[in-house]
Amino acid sequence: MASTQNGAAFVAFERVQKSYDGETLVVKDLNLSIAKGEFLTMLGPSGSGKTTCLMMLAGFETATYGEIRLDGREINNIPPHKRGIGMVFQNYALFPHMTVAENLSFPLEVRKIGKADREKKIKRALDMVQMGDFGGRRPAQLSGGQQQRIALARALVFEPELVLMDEPLGALDKQLRETLQFEITNLAHELGITTVYVTHDQTEALTMSDRVAVFDDGRIQQLAAPDELYERPENSFVAQFIGENNTLTGNVKSIDGQRCIVTLDHGEEIDAVPVNVEGVGDRTLVSIRPERVEINPDLGPDAHTLDAEVLEFIYMGDTFRTKLRTAGRDDFIVKTRNRADQVRLKPGEKIKIGWLPQDCRALDA
Ligand SMILES: Nc1ncnc2c1ncn2[C@@H]1O[C@H](COP(=O)(O)OP(=O)(O)O)[C@@H](O)[C@H]1O
Ligand SMILES: [Mg+2]
């Protein structure tokens, strides 16, 4: 896959570290290769180092240690405007005194592109973001979503090979965000642009990206395709940051290849896949997705079942969300699809829940 450390990488961070104060590292030994045409998202909580990584790639911050390469060239000492990178940020300020067309013309003039060519490129970029009729307006005469489309057009107008976006949709409402998510990924793929996208929104990351790098505390916790990340989190940070998760704590009792037995603190023994545990006796956090749990299950002899008491049963439209007391917890969640034959549960009801051992992952505690 595109992720290997070979010469074909279009963007490469190698052993990159960053400290602002000379003491604490906010980026710790970052190794990341991005292939040409790839849409890669840096996802993580606030303060995890995402923007810092983007700023080092853009050239507005310098790495304290390590190397950053673009298309095989080391760029640590190349100033931002000579890197040929397009950029879009949250609330990216368009020049307020210029029209939309003048805003788009600016990056072309900087690059000494002639007038006739400029006009052609501006028209094409505005058409791309479906703003062809707005060239004469000023930013203040546009809605937030339209301004963000113009910011996108301005980042693309000089046909960069690499575009960086830092939470570009953060300030927009949900519906507009979803429309633009779709437009951005389509556009990037159509134009063959390599994109590094930063967000703290996991849904955005999962729906838009070829691969996602999950950041926490200045490190990549996992780098994988969206489905891989959701289905097979490698540690408990990723399991809990991405999607909803039930967690049960216990100790590893035995390990046998792809199966282990965990003794839960509450006394029950359950089967799980040993993902991030070292050996017998280890503390572990066992994780299971709410949609992989069945109520009054009919999963065959391999399934694990537990007794549970219904605490809440919430109608969500397309799904039901049941909160349960089980295995010593009172926050165990089960999500079930809303089917015509769905039995509605009541608080206080005693039920059984079950899941398949392969859906249950033993992770670091
Ligand atoms: N210009 C700066 N000067 C000093 N510290 C900074 C600066 N920018 C970011 N930081 C610190 O670096 C860490 C990572 O920040 P940042 O890269 O902005 O994270 P993110 O984008 O994931 O929220 C945070 O602890 C933040 O306070
Ligand atoms: Mg940031």
C-alpha distances in Å from residue 347, one per residue of 238, 312, 342, 351: 32, 6, 16, 11
Ligand 1 center from residue 89 Cα (angstroms): 15
Ligand 2 center from residue 24 Cα (angstroms): 17
pLDDT of 92 reads 62
Q: Is residue 229 a part of any domain in this protein?
A: yes
**Last-in-domain residue among 197, 215, 236:** 236
| Cβ 16 vs Cβ 68: under 8 Å | yes
**Cα(333)–Cα(323) distance, integer angstroms:** 5
Quick one: average pLDDT of 3-28?
86
Same domain, 306 and 203: no
- Which ligand 1 atom minimizes the distance to the CA of 27? 14
Q: Is residue 231 a part of any domain in this protein?
A: yes
Query: What's the half-sphere exposure (Cβ side, CA atoms, 13 Å) at 67?
Result: 9
- Tokens of residue 297, six digits: 């299950």
CATH number, domain of 112, equals: 3.40.50.300
pLDDT beyond 50 at 3:
no
Same domain, 180 and 259: no
> Is there an atom of ligand 1 within 6 Å of 20 CB?
yes
Same domain, 177 and 323: no
Same domain, 231 and 282: no
**Last-in-domain residue among 236, 267, 300:** 236
pLDDT of 241 reads 94
Ligand 1 center from residue 139 Cα (angstroms): 29
Q: Is residue 230 a part of any domain in this protein?
A: yes
Report pLDDT digits (tens) over 125-157: 998 888 999 999 999 999 988 998 999 899 989
Contacts of 226 (CB under 8 A, 6+ apart): 205, 206, 207, 209, 211, 212
**Last-in-domain residue among 203, 236, 269:** 236
- Tokens of residue 154, six digits: 């301005």
Q: What is the total count of domains within the chain?
A: 2
The dihedral built from the CA positions of residue 336, 347, 264 and 224, taken in this order, carries a sign that is: positive
Q: Whose CA is nearest to atom 16 of ligand 1?
A: 49
Same domain, 42 and 162: yes
Same domain, 220 and 288: no
Q: Is residue 343 a part of any domain in this protein?
A: yes
Predicted TM-score (pTM) above 0.85: yes
Give the residue among 37, 332, 82, 54 at the shortest CA–CA distance from 191: 37
The pLDDT > 70 percentage for the chain reads 98
Q: Is residue 1 a part of any domain in this protein?
A: no
C-alpha distances in Å from residue 247, one per residue of 34, 68, 287: 33, 38, 5
pLDDT beyond 60 at 107:
yes
Contacts of 284 (CB under 8 A, 6+ apart): 249, 250, 251, 252, 262, 272, 277, 362, 363, 364, 365
CATH number, domain of 304, equals: 2.40.50.140
- Tokens of residue 263, six digits: 């003794």
Q: Which domain holds residue 52?
A: 6-236
**Cα(230)–Cα(311) distance, integer angstroms:** 27
Same domain, 100 and 212: yes
> Is there an atom of ligand 1 within 6 Å of 47 CB?
yes
